[in-house]
Each structure stands twice: as C-alpha cells, then as structure tokens.
Amino acid sequence: MRLAALQMHAVPGDRTANIFRIETAAREAAENGADLLVAPELAVTGYGAGDMISELAEPADGDLAERLAALSRETGVALVAGFAERDGETVWNSAIYADGQRSIVYRKSHLYGPYERALFSPEKPAACIVEHRGIKLGMLICYDVEFPENVRRLAQAGAQVMIVPTALPASDHAEFIARKLVPVRAFENQVFVAYVNHCGNDALFSYAGLSGVAAPDGTMLAEAPETGEALLFADLDPAAYAASMVANTYLRDLRV
C-alpha cells in the first residue's frame, strides 16, 4: 500500500476550509499513486477551536462520513481524518476511516491535559483494526501512542500499521516524541507507525510539525519538517521487513 500523510495547517472552527484542504490533498495523493490519506487529529474542526468544537461535533454517520465516502469513491483513496464526534450530550475526540464502502470510527482513550478533558469524554481502550488493501491498520490518536500498552494491544491483535493522527504541540520534547518514541513503538512491535501532525499555530497552540512514517526496523520512511504543510508518501510492504521480524521477536517472546 502507498500511504500519504498530510501535515496540515487547519483553520480553527472553519469546517468548510479544513474539509476542502483534505479534499485537495486526497486528489494529489491519488495523482501520486497513494491508496490511503491520513490527516491530523481534529483536522476537520481544527485542534485549537476550543468551545467551538462542541458546536461542530457531529454523529459518526453524519455529513462528514458521507463527504469522505464520496471523496474516496471519486479518487480511489481511502481517508483517515480526525473530527469531533457527538452522540447526544457526549463528545469524543475521534478519527474516521472511510473507503467509499464503509466508515469506521475510533475514539481517543487517553485525553491529554485539561484542554481535552474539558471538551471530550474518554473512550475505553480498545483494539480498533481496519483491513485496508489486505493490510491491517490499527487506529490511535496522538497521546494514545505514547502509552506502549495501546500499541502492543493492537499489534497483538494483528495490526501491521498504526495510523496516528496527532496534534503534537511545539515543546522542548516534541522532537523526542516524533523522532525517537514513535520509531521505538514501531521497532518494539514490528509495525509501521504513521504519525501525522498539524503545523503552524492558532490562538491557543503552536504545533511541532515533524510528521513521519516509521518502519518496523525503526527507520523513518518519510519525514516532514517542523514548519509548513507537507504531503508525505511512504510505501508500506510488511514483507520487506521479514528479516527484522525474524530478528526481533518481541511479540512471540512476551510473557504476561
């Protein structure tokens, strides 16, 4: 499979502009032979939209799901995008996978800081796996990937690629997370990890950029800079890392 990762400067509260940006990237991804596009955490609302997020939250089977399904059918590219999901009075920080035939939603289990905890309800940790073009994708969101238990749960359930929309803020440890922790998660579970971030800033946050795709041997297949939008491409072939999987048998050797 060929994965495209959109490092994106979302407009807080401007759902129309953000969806248009995703649509533009999907068409570019299709032109470059990709079959999956990943956008950041809360890409549809903008991570820093604050209280507007509650107003913009929508059902899992709402207009966004329909638009992404139509876009996928048009381009042949499946999509993963972060959005605010509402069910009654409950709002989740969610990511939707849409391939034109089905929509699958993952809800973030580990909320980060008082900002997220004031806006969202956490979901119980679970192994959300989607089969895409014969490859099993495990879905997480941002802070979720910083807990090794979450990635290990998915790897033990058979996931080969971790899809991680994120909103990593700029900080003195952002580069460590994006360029050290993420490749370690890939290596210790013998999986690919697509870590897809925002860039730039809004009224509430500055974002670290540094999106990337890590391989099972810990190498980076694609990397974005700290600043500026970028559309990354990475070819993911689990069979190409058979030697690494033979040499690093963490999953087989794990004792609990």
The set of catalytic residues is: 41, 108, 142
Q: Which of 12, 37, 44, 19 is nearest to 202 (CA)?
A: 12
Separation in Å, CA 190 to CA 25, 82, 140, 223, 246: 29, 25, 16, 19, 10
Q: Which DSSP symbol is given to 43?
A: T
Judged by phi (left if over 0) then psi (alpha if -120 to 50, else beta), residue 113 lies in left
Q: Which two tokens stand for residue 155?
A: 């790897």
| Cα gap 63→96, rounded to integer Å | 12
**How much is the CA Rg of the chain, to the nearest whole Å?**
17
Please list, residue by residue across 132-170, b when 16 or more beta carbons sit within 10 angstroms of its beta carbon and e when fewer do. beebbbbbbbbbbbbeeebbbbbbeeebbbbbbbbbbbb
